[in-house]
Amino acid sequence: MYKTRVIYVLFALCLVEIFAIEMDDDMKELINNLHNTCTGETGATDDQIENARKGNFAEDDSFKCYFKCVFDQMGCMTDDGKVDSEAVIAVMPPELADKIASTVRGCTEVGANPCETAWLANKCYQKSNPDMYFVP
């Protein structure tokens, strides 16, 4: 149930970010919970996250693990610590999935550990398609 809600939240995030759709209070709370869960688990800061939205990715282990946490919550990390590109695409609405599929499939660099792999994927997503990039 929780993963389903997280996927719904991420879907809504995409719509909000791309199409400027208004969020209700329940949706804001779910997004806040995902953000708070992953910042709480990793120690990543709001400044680091905001900077990543602009393309500035801190070389910090806790920040790298923030992205792994988000992918874990979405069900988009494999058991061997790689990003499951098809799962990332699958949680997006079809009209957005078509726009990001080639970017996601092209960002497959594997890091020294799962946190770095998730971080590298996000750096690649942002660099390849900055207009479509988001992070909760």
Chain segment 13-59, per-residue pLDDT in tens: 554 454 444 556 776 787 788 899 999 999 999 999 999 999 999 99
For position 5, what pLDDT does the model report? Answer: 53
Cβ(5)–Cβ(37) below 8 Å: no
Cβ(16)–Cβ(132) below 8 Å: no
Q: Is 28 left (phi over 0), alpha (psi -120 to 50) or beta?
A: alpha
Check: pTM over 0.85? Answer yes or no.
Answer: no
pLDDT band at 8 (very low <50, low <70, confident <90, very high): very low
Cβ(64)–Cβ(119) below 8 Å: yes
pLDDT band at 10 (very low <50, low <70, confident <90, very high): low
Residue type, 117: T
pLDDT for residue 79 is more than 80:
yes
For residues 49-72, give the mean pLDDT.
96
For position 19, what pLDDT does the model report? Answer: 43
CA dist 136 and 125 (Å) reads 14
**β-bridge partners, 83:** 77
For position 50, what pLDDT does the model report? Answer: 95
CA dist 33 and 18 (Å) reads 21
Chain segment 89-134, per-residue pLDDT in tens: 998 778 788 889 999 999 999 999 999 999 999 999 999 999 888 7
Domains of the chain as residue ranges with CATH: 2-128 (1.10.238.20)
